[in-house]
Amino acid sequence: MAGITYKKTARTVIGGTGGIGSDMRIRIPAVAAAALLALGLGAGQPTTALAQSQGAAPASTWKPPRGPDRVHPDLNGVWQVLNTANYDVEPHGASAAMAFRPGPVIPVPAAQVVALGAVGAVPPGPGVVVGGAIPYKPEAKAQRDDNRAHWLERDPEIKCYLPGVPRATYMPYPLRILQSDHGMVIAYEYASAVRTLLFKDPGPAPVDSWMGQSVAHWEGDTLVVKVTGLNDQSWLDRAGNFHSDQMTVVERYTLTSPMTIRYEAEITDPEVYAHPWKMEMTLYKAVGPDVTFGQFKCVEFVTELMYGDLRKQPLPH
């Protein structure tokens, strides 16, 4: 293409699975760069006019609409992330697959996924972890790497187990916030998971569970949710990042425009991490006549995977 040059670089994906990804870097011609600067886009931040055209308003003047109680912001709606955090919450390059095996020169996709081709590949992402890396303790990081090497057997998403918190928020499926004047529920399309937010603390969770116990309160216009009572079976992503049953998650939902929520999750787990850490991302509101919130009850879709070997005459793999 005239005026644009490409530089292609090979990069080995780090983290226990190997594999080769590639970056395609585009150098924008000087004329195009000048045009972008003239529009106020060169610094990576939208101009006020552009932000307003996209449904946002200047932070100093915009006030979130009030919800059913006429006091707190209205978070009702269908929301979804536009990131690749479910693949890996840490920064990552593109990769040929989630599972690899040794190859003649470099690792190649595992036999179970090789037929998926590009469908089974991993798109790149800047990550959502503040600071870039999860502060694992040394022995826990070794466990993460082992999880990554055995992703096919261990990732609970593959078996359609409930996603846990915070993973439910950034899976590639929508969530729905249902807010009334006296309560709030968050429903997730994946596995039909549901969380009821309790605005009166009932005390410690009676039993650990996949989605835990969520106790909420408002700090100004920010909804704060403390999640406890989580079991140790869920993962944070497909890259083997994990936690123990000592994990506590403090979520913060802040309406930043009519179409966006800033989502923050501070994670504390003294068994696995050297210190608390945080992830941040944006949830985008789904609007328009084509918006639906379906039921992805995937349990029945993994029956053959989970129980196919129990057939009187098992089917060949």
Give yes or no: residues 251 and 197 share one domain: yes
Q: Which of 80, 75, 307, 305 is nearest to 190 (CA)?
A: 80
**Pair 257, 199 in one domain:** yes
Determine, yes or no, domain membership for 315.
no
Q: Give the pLDDT confidence score for residue 316 in this predicted structure.
A: 84
Looking at the fold, whether 151 and 274 belong to one and the same domain comes out as: yes
- The residues near 200 (Cβ < 8 Å, ≥ 6 apart) are none
Instruction: For residue 54, tell me if it sits in a domain.
Output: no
Assess if residue 3 is contained within a domain.
Answer: yes
Between CA 32 and CA 38 the distance in angstroms is: 10
User: Can you tell me the distance from the alpha carbon of 200 to that of 167, in angstroms, rounded to the nearest whole number?
Assistant: 24
How far is the C-alpha of 144 from the C-alpha of 117, rounded, in Å? Answer: 25
Are residues 180 and 299 both part of a single domain?
yes
Tally of domains within the chain: 2
Do 194 and 182 belong together in one domain?
Answer: yes
Closest CA to 129 of 177, 78, 85: 85
Residue 267 belongs to some domain of the structure:
yes
Q: Are both 172 and 110 inside the same structural domain?
A: no
Q: Decide if 63 is inside a domain.
A: no
**Same domain for 255 and 153:** yes
Are 261 and 232 within 8 A, CB to CB?
Answer: no
So what's the pLDDT on residue 183?
Answer: 93
On the question of a cis peptide bond just before residue 68, with omega within 30 degrees of 0, the verdict is no
Based on the domain organization, do 98 and 81 belong to the same domain? no
Residue 26 belongs to domain spanning: 1-45+94-125
| Residue 197 shares a structural domain with residue 260 | yes
Question: Does 58 reside within a domain?
Answer: no
Show the tokens assigned to 191: 């596995």
Averaged over successive runs of 10 residues, the pLDDT of the chain (317 residues) comes to 41 37 40 44 40 51 93 97 98 96 95 95 98 98 97 97 98 97 96 97 96 98 98 98 98 97 98 98 95 92 91 85
Assess whether 106 and 160 both reside in one domain: no
If asked whether residues 104 and 193 sit together in one domain, one would say no
Residue 62 placed within a domain: no
Q: CA nearest 131: which of 15, 252, 274?
A: 274
For residue 13 the two structure tokens come to 């994906």
Q: Is residue 52 part of a domain?
A: no
Nearest by Cα to 219 from 35, 51, 73: 73
Same domain, 106 and 168: no
pLDDT value for 56: 54
